[in-house]
Chain A
Amino acid sequence: MSEQLETYFAVTQLHARYATVVDAKDWDAWCELFVDDCVYRIQPRENYERGFPLATLSFTSKGMLKDRAYGIRETLFHDPYYQRHVIGAPLILESSATHIDCESNYAVFRTKLSELSTVFNVGRYIDRIVRTPEGLRFQSRQCVYDSEMIPNSIIYPI
């Protein structure tokens, strides 16, 4: 049991770290929560459940994450906003010496300057986390979102 608790604790800390860095707009730290050969996808639930491969964003290397970080910082014009993640308790589906498969619900709130806070995107994370010498890292994070309409655009990572 203590090993399971340790895993559970480590996963919740990783999720908390993830929320902290993306809500703080620390895109470099966001990239470093992934291994080099990683997958990061934001996909409508509709595509996921109907077996359509299209994702709203689909990155298949840490390099692509870094390119997104560059885009956010340097090239993508957008109305500035804060985002705030609330991540539910992870359901650990499988845990081994090398990796952990888990899922958790999330809600992201968006606050534009001079505006009220609104629900921006809700869904679930489907994760494969790997144990590395530096601690837990995402090998794959899929954000499968229920939100039927994107309120105009998604700029920052979910």
Chain B
Amino acid sequence: MNAIDATLTQLQSSPSALNWYENGTSRIPFRVYTDAERHRKELEAFFYKNHWCYVGLEAEIPNVGDFKRTAIGERSVVMSRAEDGSVHVFENVCAHRGMQFCRERHGNRKDFVCPYHQWSYSLKGDLQGVPFIRGVKQDGKVNGGMPPDFKKEEHGLTKLRVATRGGVVFATFDHAMESFEDFVGEAVLHYFDRMFNGRKLKILGYNRQRIPGNWKLMQENIKDPYHPGLLHTWFVTFGLWRADNKAELKMDRHFRHAAMISTRGNAQAANEVSKVSSFKETMQLHDARFLDIVPEAWWNGPTAVMTTLFPSVILQQQVNSVSTRHIQPRGNGEFDFVWTHFGYEDDAPEMTERRLRQSNLFGPAGFVSADDGEVIELSQKGFEQKPDHRALAELGGRDVGDTDHMVTETLIRGMYAYWRKVMGE
């Protein structure tokens, strides 16, 4: 076979096969972001199987009958609190004709009723009522009805397995998978517990944005300590982020989850380290209250810990601002990003004010987060126009491992090491 024939054969057998440089993950083929078929495989492998996915906070459904509609991957689910106080998650698809019956996004009810044929479900997702189950009597005769062997208990909603920890609710369609704690792993669970240490949470509100880029780019954004001091010049200008901050990067044993842990320092003038051209040493805020930072006991030192739980959520502590950021894919080229800002029930009013003021830095319009969405959109555009090319993630080498500094893309390489193992490519 000559070279041209060999190339043609290869192209025909797998038109979009991925080419990994040196069989590693330091160069990421653009096709992992651009292929619709590969995206559907990811949904099955990461969101619908073998992973605990974020659903919400218990504080969103404090009372019996409270519910919240949300999504796992691209499947609509409902989280509810039953009469016994337990939290349940079920799929928002009627067992009868498949209608997505729950349209309100939150509320309180005694049961869930599909409006199409009035099938009703308990707060746990069990089928309760089926109109005309025994037929309709007319002129001494019973018309219709369900077959005699129809059993309501066989036709409940699809129930998910639920795990709650520290007031955060996760669920999985996969009833056989490991515990939430084993899923997260000891190293990252430490930082999860730091933020959700048992204190009751107080919801401050939501921000919702639709980002036209592949969902993995948001995980990568929070696994990338290279960019904050360079893209987010606001951080640098006002002294909140510096490349020589004391920092650690930690992963679980599969490299899928990570924590970026950093502590603000005041050692040198920022421009000695950052080399950011737009940095203005003398720039002062007109209103310094944006950065009215008060250390809290639960921080135990670090001023910022950004935790990525693969695949569905990012946990944010940036000084006094805390939030969850929920990733909800919509095809390979777009995802919804839902921010839930919260505080703790024992926060003094001044601390609540402070968290709210600092939330101006984050979210879809935030002084430092708005540009993350922008670069993700423009990255996706670059991938789409050149799908056979690849991205580089070689800062700090080509291997994967925990570090005690920020000058590395090791967490991205780690995520793709895991991705390759699960996707088998």
Task: Select one of B341, B356, B373 contacting A152, CB under 8 A.
Answer: B373
- Contacts of B272-310 to chain A: CB distance below 8 A: 278, 280, 283, 285-287, 289-290
B129 at the binding interface (Cβ < 8 Å):
no
User: B377 to A76, Cβ gap below 8 A?
Assistant: no
Tell which of B73-81, B364-372, B385-393, B411-419 binds the partner: B364-372
User: B359 to A54, Cβ gap below 8 A?
Assistant: yes
B204 at the binding interface (Cβ < 8 Å):
yes
Q: Assuming the A-B contacts A149-B336, A150-B207, are A71 and B363 also in contact, with contact meaning beta carbons closer than 8 angstroms in the complex? A: no
- Contacts of A48-87 to chain B: CB distance below 8 A: 50, 52-64, 66-68, 70-71, 74-79
* Chain B, residue nearest A57 (CB): B365
Tell which of A6-14, A18-26, A39-47 binds the partner: A39-47
User: A44 to B209, Cβ gap below 8 A?
Assistant: no
User: A56 to B207, Cβ gap below 8 A?
Assistant: yes
A96 at the binding interface (Cβ < 8 Å):
no
B180 at the binding interface (Cβ < 8 Å):
no
**What's the least CB distance linking B340 to chain A, in Å?**
9
* Chain B, residue nearest A61 (CB): B287
**Chain B neighbourhood of A46, CB < 8 A:** 105, 205-206
**Chain A neighbourhood of B356, CB < 8 A:** 53-55, 58
**Chain B neighbourhood of A63, CB < 8 A:** 285-287
Task: Select one of B204, B206, B232, B290 contacting A67, CB under 8 A.
Answer: B290
Docked complex Cα distance between A46 and B206 (Å):
8
User: B206 to A52, Cβ gap below 8 A?
Assistant: yes
Which of the four size classes fits the interface of chain A? 35 or more
Docked complex Cα distance between A25 and B209 (Å):
23
User: B208 to A148, Cβ gap below 8 A?
Assistant: yes
User: B205 to A77, Cβ gap below 8 A?
Assistant: no
- Contacts of B85-114 to chain A: CB distance below 8 A: 105-106
Which DSSP category, helix, strand, loop or mixed, fits chain A's interface? mixed
User: B205 to A44, Cβ gap below 8 A?
Assistant: yes
**Chain A neighbourhood of B205, CB < 8 A:** 44, 46-47, 50, 52-55
B168 at the binding interface (Cβ < 8 Å):
no
Docked complex Cα distance between A67 and B357 (Å):
13
Docked complex Cα distance between A110 and B231 (Å):
24
User: B360 to A59, Cβ gap below 8 A?
Assistant: yes
Q: Assuming the A-B contacts A57-B360, A66-B286, are A77 and B375 also in contact, with contact meaning beta carbons closer than 8 angstroms in the complex? A: yes
Docked complex Cα distance between A59 and B358 (Å):
11
User: B367 to A52, Cβ gap below 8 A?
Assistant: no
A153 at the binding interface (Cβ < 8 Å):
yes
User: B278 to A74, Cβ gap below 8 A?
Assistant: yes
Task: Select one of A44, A57, A67 contacting B208, CB under 8 A.
Answer: A44
**What's the least CB distance linking B395 to chain A, in Å?**
20
**What's the least CB distance linking B287 to chain A, in Å?**
4
Which residues on A are within 8 Å of B, measured CB to CB? 42, 44, 46-47, 50, 52-64, 66-68, 70-71, 74-79, 148-155
Known: A54-B207, A64-B289. 9 other contacts (CB 8 A): A44-B205, A62-B286, A66-B286, A68-B367, A74-B278, A76-B370, A78-B374, A150-B210, A152-B209
Which residues on B are within 8 Å of A, measured CB to CB? 105-106, 203-212, 231-234, 237, 278, 280, 283, 285-287, 289-290, 336, 341, 352, 356-357, 359-360, 363-365, 367, 370-371, 373-375, 377-378
CB-defined A-B contacts under 8 Å, sample of 21: A44-B206, A46-B205, A47-B205, A47-B206, A52-B204, A53-B205, A55-B205, A56-B363, A57-B365, A59-B287, A64-B287, A66-B287, A67-B286, A70-B283, A71-B234, A149-B208, A149-B210, A150-B207, A150-B208, A150-B209, A155-B365
| Those 5 A-B pairs whose CB atoms lie nearest each other, nearest first | A54-B205, A52-B205, A63-B286, A63-B287, A47-B205
